[in-house]
Amino acid sequence: MKAMLNGTRSSSRKAGKTAAKVTDTVTASDVLKMMDRYGYPAETRDIIQSERLLPAGVLSRLQATYPQHSGLLESRPFLFNDRAQYSGIEGFREVIQILAKNGIRIGDLPERELFVEVYRFKASRHILNTINWNNYEQDSMYRLVFPQPGVMRKKVTEPYFAAKTDQQRQQVIADYMAETNPHDGHQLLNKPWLEKEDGGIEILEGSQHKYPACQLVFDKTTQNCFAFCTYCFRHAQVRGDDDMFIQEDIAQIHKYLRVHPEVTDILITGGDAGYLPADRMRQYVMPIIEDPQLLHVRTVRIGSRMLTFQPEFILSHKYDEMLELFDTMRDNGVQFCWMAHLSTPRELLNPSILVAIRRLQDHGVVVRSQSPITNHVSLFMDKNGVVDVDRSAQNWIDLAHVLAALSIRFHSMYCARHTGEHHYYTAPLADIDKVFSKVFRSLASLHRPSRYITMTTSAGKLSLLGTAEVKGEKVFALKFNESRNMAWMDKVILAKYDPKETRVDKLVPFDTQKFFFEDELKEIEDKLTEIHHKHLSTAEQKPATTIPAKAGK
Ligand code: SF4
């Protein structure tokens, strides 16, 4: 296997061997120091060397253009060396202890632990070591993975801290968990079904099919993540809620696809689809390659944050079987897209992720980036609590340039979904529009996100096109780029300008009582609800839990 994989890319790498470097900012000796610092085992070093995955030319260009974001030439010893991951409240406390031993006290522990109890905690060694601990409070990855003071609403912090017993505290947590909304936009209605011969229906419990061309699959092996993002929009999957989507039966997906020729893309997601084992991926992919009834399926996508959280997963021969499968897809005209969620330049400027990306690309994987723009992580306020448009936009402009240097397509930026602690991660749409507009106009067309900024609603993905003035009044101009009825996508929609509103589904029509799609949306939702209820009334009901079971992850 190793020899074969090396052979697939040696010719393309030879071309780069003689190419001139723009600068020697990073030398071959720096590369050796990087590998030592990251403690790469001999196997990883061998892969990097034989597959030419860490050329000094790429590193030099990135370092020379973005020294302010780069961790490439940092030399401070890593604080986290033992475990691949730290998870749960115990893992959180272990991380806090390691930090304290190194003189770093992040404080606000009771509030942070409350967050961990409600939403969970998991951090990989890689992401912990990516954080710049000399200036951690400003570090986006720190803010992404560590619960922050102020994130939990008073309605839960006050009763939690007033509770006298452990049982009372656990009940506050349970009540609040039940209240948090992991399935915004009526996602449970998106489960598709197969019609049975007896007139009944068979629901695909681990799938969503809302837009014709793309079917989502939540495979049973992907209900975990390499680290947990504090803003997670899929916390039902991450914390193991009773109503999470889980696809057990792969054949059921192919059965569904055979009667749905409109589906061109399947998107395997989770949790994190990077967890999908190669043999299970093969079971999804081979029928798509071999069955003439599935020729309409052209792209397999996975949604994964593995590149940011645990890129070393790809840097061993254990991953070769998956790479071979990527080769098979490419050789059979099935595109494989790795939808990474990259939101800052710094997360890309370390050797492990660069090597992982190049290894995937060498096997025909198209890496694309889609990411939410979230306050504190990739959107920043000034000292007056107002969105700092220039600083926020610059983060995304720099990210776009790094993506371009690595041949990663910038697919999309989107607004945080209305789940979890949305209030903390969001900002007024009017301000986000200013940031996005600056990003968009600052980039060459090839480097821009492939669509205007969006926010998901039950009706579909609504893009914010910008503002306009109609009859002397300022309005938002919106357009669907995905919708429950695709015909809705053809119209521009006007909504009253609101400088404070953070949710697109709360915007008010400009000069009509309702948006044009509202009545039809209600009809569609009512019909789906009726079908799902009918199915539920004949299916075995699960008993409700008072205190939700904790996810075993
Ligand atoms: S990787 Fe995705 S599913 Fe996992 S914690 Fe982050 S946002 Fe949630």
Q: Is the pLDDT of residue 178 over 90?
A: no
State pTM to two decimals: 0.91
Q: What is the mean pLDDT of residues 154-168?
A: 94
pLDDT digits (tens, 9 = 90+) for 268-298: 998 899 999 999 999 999 999 999 999 999 9
**Residue 122 is inside which H or E element, if any?**
strand 122-124
CA distances to 208, 221, 386, 534 from 205, in Å: 8, 14, 42, 15
Query: Helices 42-50 and 28-37 sit at what angle, rounded to 10 degrees?
Result: 150
Ligand 1 atom having least distance to the Cα of 227? 5
pLDDT digits (tens, 9 = 90+) for 252-272: 999 999 999 999 999 999 889
Q: What is the pLDDT of residue 518?
A: 97
% pLDDT > 90, the chain: 82
Question: Which of 183, 272, 306 has the most ligand 1 atoms within 8 A of CB, as the residue to mutate?
Answer: 272
C-alpha 77 – ligand 1 centre gap (Å): 28
Q: What is the pLDDT of residue 544?
A: 33
φ, ψ of residue 180 in degrees (nearest 5):
-65, 150
**204 in Cβ contact with 194 (< 8 Å):** yes
Sequence-ordered alpha helix ranges (H) in 406-471: 422-425, 429-442
C-alpha 369 – ligand 1 centre gap (Å): 14
Q: b or e along 130-155 (b: 16 or more beta carbons within 10 Å of the residue's beta carbon)?
A: bbbbeeeeebbbbbbbbbbeebbeee
Ligand 1 atom having least distance to the Cα of 270? 3
Instruction: Name the residue among 177, 156, 159 with its Cα closest to residue 168.
Output: 159
Q: Is the pLDDT of residue 135 over 90?
A: yes
Q: How many whole angstroms separate alpha carbon 61 and alpha carbon 58?
A: 5
C-alpha 237 – ligand 1 centre gap (Å): 9
C-alpha 119 – ligand 1 centre gap (Å): 11
Question: Which of 183, 216, 234, 374 has the most ligand 1 atoms within 8 A of CB, as the residue to mutate?
Answer: 234
Instruction: Name the residue among 316, 408, 379 with its Cα closest to residue 5.
Output: 316
Ligand 1 atom having least distance to the Cα of 225? 4
Strand bridging mode 265-269 / 366-373: unpaired
Instruction: Name the residue among 512, 493, 424, 510 with its Cα closest to residue 452.
Output: 493
Q: Is the pLDDT of residue 19 over 50?
A: no
User: Does 88 sit behind a cis peptide bond, omega within 30 degrees of 0 on the bond before it?
Assistant: no
Cα torsion angle, 246, 248, 254, 256, sign: negative
C-alpha 304 – ligand 1 centre gap (Å): 8
Q: What is the pLDDT of residue 432?
A: 97
Q: Is the pLDDT of residue 405 over 80?
A: yes
Residue closest by Cα to atom 7 of ligand 1? 232
Residue with tokens 């669509």: 451
Residue closest by Cα to atom 5 of ligand 1? 228
Determine the Cα angle at 466 with ends 460 and 468, to 5°: 120
Q: What is the pLDDT of residue 16?
A: 44
Q: Is the pLDDT of residue 48 over 90?
A: yes
Q: To the nearest whole number, what is the mean pLDDT of the chain?
A: 91
Using DSSP's 3-state secondary structure scheme, residue 506 falls into helix
Among 136-140, 453-457, 546-550, name the one with the lowest average pLDDT.
546-550
Q: What distance lies between CA 142 and its chain's CA centroid?
A: 16
pLDDT digits (tens, 9 = 90+) for 406-444: 999 999 999 988 888 889 999 999 999 999 999 999 999
Q: Is the pLDDT of residue 550 over 60?
A: no
Among 105-114, 241-250, 350-359, name the one with the lowest average pLDDT.
241-250
Fill in the DSSP letter of residue 379: B
Question: Which of 228, 241, 310 has the most ligand 1 atoms within 8 A of CB, as the residue to mutate?
Answer: 228
Q: How many whole angstroms separate alpha carbon 82 and alpha carbon 98?
A: 11
Q: Is the pLDDT of residue 454 over 50?
A: yes
Q: What is the pLDDT of residue 537?
A: 64
Using left for φ > 0, alpha for ψ between -120 and 50, and beta otherwise, residue 271 falls in left
Strand segments, DSSP code E, in 310-388 are 335-340, 366-373
Residue closest by Cα to atom 6 of ligand 1? 229
Query: Helices 320-331 and 278-290 sit at what angle, rounded to 10 degrees?
Result: 10
C-alpha 240 – ligand 1 centre gap (Å): 13
Q: Residue 367 CB: number of other CB atoms within 10 A?
A: 23
pLDDT digits (tens, 9 = 90+) for 330-370: 999 999 999 999 999 999 999 999 999 999 999 999 999 99
Residues 6+ apart with CB under 8 A from 409: 366, 367, 368, 369, 403, 450
Residue closest by Cα to atom 1 of ligand 1? 305
Q: How many whole angstroms separate alpha carbon 441 and alpha carbon 437?
A: 6
Structure token pair of residue 42:
């001999």
pLDDT digits (tens, 9 = 90+) for 50-99: 999 999 999 999 999 999 999 999 999 999 998 999 999 999 999 999 99
Q: How far apart are the first and last CA of the chain?
A: 32
pLDDT digits (tens, 9 = 90+) for 512-547: 999 999 999 999 999 999 888 887 665 544 433 333
Instruction: Name the residue among 541, 529, 536, 527 with its Cα closest to residue 200.
Output: 536
Task: Report the pocket of ligand 1 as residue ranges, CB < 6 Å.
Answer: 225, 228-229, 232-234, 238, 271-272, 305
Confidence of residue 187 (pLDDT cuts 50, 70, 90): confident
Q: What is the mean pLDDT of residues 113-126?
A: 94
Q: Is the pLDDT of residue 499 over 50?
A: yes
Residue closest by Cα to atom 8 of ligand 1? 232
Residues 6+ apart with CB under 8 A from 163: 169, 171, 172
Q: Where are the domains of the chain?
A: 1-364+521-553
Q: Is the pLDDT of residue 163 over 90?
A: yes
Q: What is the pLDDT of residue 17?
A: 47
Ligand 1 atom having least distance to the Cα of 269? 3
Structure token pair of residue 187:
């996602």
Residue 164's identity, in one-letter code, is K
Q: Could you say which architecture CATH assigns to the domain 1-364+521-553?
A: Alpha-Beta Barrel (3.20)
Q: Is the pLDDT of residue 12 over 60?
A: no
Q: CA Rg, the chain, in Å?
A: 24
Question: Which of 144, 184, 305 has the most ligand 1 atoms within 8 A of CB, as the residue to mutate?
Answer: 305
Q: How many whole angstroms separate alpha carbon 284 and alpha carbon 250?
A: 6
Q: Is the pLDDT of residue 239 over 70?
A: no
Q: What is the pLDDT of residue 20?
A: 45
Residue 65's identity, in one-letter code, is T
Ligand 1 atom having least distance to the Cα of 231? 7
